[in-house]
Structure 1
Amino acid sequence: MKVGRLTIVDALGSRDGHRMVACACECGARIEIRRSSVVSGHTMSCGCLKRDALIERQTIDNLSRDPRYFVLQNAVGRCFDTENPGYANYGGRGITVCDRWRFGEDGRTGAECFCDDMGERPSSGHSLDRKDNDGPYSPANCRWATRTEQQRNTRSNAIFFYSGADRCLAEISDLCGINYKTLVTRIRRGWSPSRAFSHPANR
């Protein structure tokens, strides 16, 4: 007879007025226990079931405090929550999150797989970036990137010739020392690129 992780393998007679049995547990342990505890379903393992549940709960709790957990949740929200402000630019145009990161794989949760695949976040200034802007959030298509790297990769990126090469505004901002938002404002107001990139910014 099997109940939970326990299989009754032998009858041991009575002890203190209770019928005793020997049980083999799926984890490999062998225990002696009251038969009524097993048959009623009150005891379903040698104790490993409770231990594994505690480990799983601690793992989930630890992950929920990991900043990478929120990075993944935000990506899932943008791709699948129609009420999310960013849905139109992500899920609305077919961007998805791979099943491995959503549902997990090989006994690991999606969050655990995500953390394993992406590794530690280099710094708080790095965020999740897709190499192919039309591709999914997946191990092969994602990386940790700085704001400059992401701006260089954005769909609506404007490219200008500066210092001998074609560059995005975020990169030019780093090179010329003028705030990125200031450069954007200047270009939108009709400034020529040469003036926008060379005119000193107000204090």
Structure 2
Amino acid sequence: MPAPQPVTVNGILYQSRLAACRAFGHSGSKIDHRMAAGMSLEEALTSKDRYRNVKKHPLYGHWNAMNTRCHSASESSLRYQGRVAVCERWRNDFFAFVEDMGLPPSANHSIDRIDNDKGYSPENCRWATRLQQQRNMRSNTWIEAFGKRMILKDWEIASGLLSSTIMNRLKKGWSAEDALTKNSRCYVANSQAVILEKCSALLEKY
């Protein structure tokens, strides 16, 4: 076993890293964890206030759930593993996540991946409401018409027609514009002008 090496922290020489840990009131395992997250020994020893009560931080729950979802061995997270990952910057440093994301606009916002084919990273994440996240699900059917692109459910709202009617028409080869503006047996379709007006309001929710 190699002999302990002396270390210098804030200009003071300690006989070993363990001795320095004891002097600062830290356990060796805690310092190992901080250094594994990219901190230097001096940073790990002197950042006591930064990590104190970190679990009470308003973003800790979001950060912990994100990491657990992607990297824990629990059965509930298996569908994410190997497909969705947390970037190294966030996975190893809670405060890097805080710095990049900031606080959510409200209690109704949670973290959302903009591109579902990519993982959690500063460039691919945003704070979004539940409705915004529902519009960003893989299972959504997207339709483009009148120069607008929305999910099928929103085209149902804009056109006044049932989603099933719109989809049946598209499967028969109808253009998107005709599928959204032609009356059905039971429903009168909205005019193009009304549809576009509704689109403007709906697109604000994306």
| Class of the TM-score when normalised by the shorter of the 2 chains | 0.5 to 0.7
Higher strand share: 1
Q: 1:140-179 maps to which residues of 2 (within 5 A)?
A: 140-159=123-142, 167-168=150-151
Distance 1:60 1:157, change over 3 A: same
Sequence identity percentage: 34
Higher alpha-carbon Rg = 1
Distance 1:69 1:192, change over 3 A: same
Distance 1:101 1:44, change over 3 A: closer
Cα distance in structure 2, aligned partners of 1:41 and 1:98: 30
2:66 alignment partner, SS class? helix
Task: State the 1:127 CA deviation.
Answer: 0.7
Q: Which residue of 1 aligns with 2:107?
A: 124
Unaligned runs of 5+ in 1: 6-25, 31-37, 104-109, 177-185, 197-203
Cα distance in structure 2, aligned partners of 1:127 and 1:54: 33
Q: 1:50-61 maps to which residues of 2 (within 5 A)?
A: 50=25, 56-61=47-52
Task: State the 1:56 CA deviation.
Answer: 3.0
Task: State the 1:72 CA deviation.
Answer: 1.4
Distance 1:169 1:115, change over 3 A: farther
Q: Which residue of 2 aligns with 1:113?
A: 96
Task: State the 1:57 CA deviation.
Answer: 3.6
Pick aligned residue for 1:66 from 51, 57, 68 = 57
1:67 alignment partner, SS class? coil
TM-score, normalization by structure 1: 0.53
Pick aligned residue for 1:95 from 84, 105, 129 = 84
Q: Which residue of 1 aligns with 2:202?
A: none
Pick aligned residue for 1:134 from 86, 92, 117 = 117
Task: State the 1:99 CA deviation.
Answer: 0.8
Greater RCO structure (CA 8 Å; 6+ sep): 2
Cα distance in structure 1, aligned partners of 2:11 and 2:96: 28
Task: State the 1:113 CA deviation.
Answer: 0.5
Whether the aligned pair in 1 keeps the contact of 2:109 and 2:129 (CA below 8 Å) is: yes
> How many pairs were matched up?
147
Whether the aligned pair in 2 keeps the contact of 1:78 and 1:84 (CA below 8 Å) is: no
TM-score, normalization by structure 2: 0.52
- Structure 2 residue 66 is matched with structure 1 residue 75: yes
Distance 1:115 1:123, change over 3 A: same
1:120 alignment partner, SS class? coil
